[in-house]
Structure 1
Amino acid sequence: MPKGPLEPNARPDDIVAKDREDGEAEKPAFGRFSRRSFLGQLGAAGLAATTSTLAAAAPAPVHEQPSSTAKPKVPGSVPVSLNINGSEIHTTLEPRVTLLDALRENLQMPGTKKGCDHGQCGACTVHINGRRVNSCLTFAIMHQGDKITTIEGLAQDGKLHPVQAAFVEHDGFQCGYCTPGQIMSAVALLKEPVGKDDDSVREFMSGNICRCGAYTNIVAAVQAARQQI
């Protein structure tokens, strides 16, 4: 039955509507909450539960421990004395520096060229105690006390070495990049027991690559220089 007084002359339909309103007022949806607030709190609770689950499942951070077998640091520069082209040169180099890099980068002698840096092209050829060596394959620190000759040390008193002059006369080069190494090998050839025929010269010089293909003129230059030495 509806609560409170009814208006005089109230119709039956009004009595039923009043009774329905009073019943809904007494029983709010979902207890103390409206449907909207209930759904909002339900979503927030689900998000919190998911976050806590992910946090629990995440692996703990790994802190790397220093290894007792770690490689030691490369030592710093050390004093080095080199005899190059008759002059005693004192400098400091890292032990890992090749003779080629020491000449070019540290001693400002760029005549010796860096080609393949693997000992395969001969562009970096120098003489060590009279023998030709690929300077990219040997450490500078190993040659203290040795006599090192580079392309800069061949000419004497402003006069070209006979091999240098022969290369100029017979056009034994094109771009000229490999020429210092070619000349250094040719000078060594003339001091060693090598056959005098062209094939023997080609065989001895086979470690020096000329990408321009000036091999015929190189052989001619070597043979011409042989007549003058």
Structure 2
Amino acid sequence: MQISIEPKPHTLHITSGEAAAEALRHKLPQADIIPFNEAMCEGSACAEIFTNEFYQLRAAAYGVTLQSYLLKSPGGWLNAMLPAYKALNLYFDYDMFCVVNTITLLAFLEQAQYKGQINFYLLEANGGADIIDTWPVKLGIYNECYQQVLVNRQPFDAGKSYFNKGIELYLDYKKEANRITAYIAANSALDKQELLYKLMARFADYGLTDIAAARFIDAHLQKVADK
């Protein structure tokens, strides 16, 4: 599907990460574009987004100092500049990693009482800015969704398969025993590097990174060693 983006003034473009942001800059060189540098599937969440408590939890989740985290966080910029934009274009792909980040961003927009137009662009999962679908977003359910799913770790019907599939995967991902740990246990005889590559390929729908895959493997090895 070929979907074009019509450049408009006073529109902020928010991408899933640095790679998508760079690809979008080639398509829209005059646009205001920022990456949503979060990995909300990791660590814990708190009720109020982009607050001091939120920042501290994110830094702890990534194992970095608060100062290092704040250098990349979009929170300060969004809090300060959001009122200047009449419209937002969001660019995320369809894996769990992106779905959870999208829920967090939309929940923040509800908390900030954003009143502008929001369009969502679904990206091909190739690290670029290739659009495969688009739809308008109406705020109203996403803060409740965020509180229920990320804070309370409970199911929530968001009324769209994009969100519901990601929510289902996230709730599995946050369990101590999940699909990933079961696969590791069944394939523990493999070399660690080979197992890491297999995990990333098999669980692409989670958006599993090499760092997260290695963490799961190391946790399994430590569990075996402790027995």
TM-score interval, smaller chain? under 0.3
Higher relative contact order (CA 8 A, sep 6+): 2
Structure with greater helix percent: 2
> Which one has the largest radius of gyration?
1
Q: TM-score, normalised by structure 1?
A: 0.23
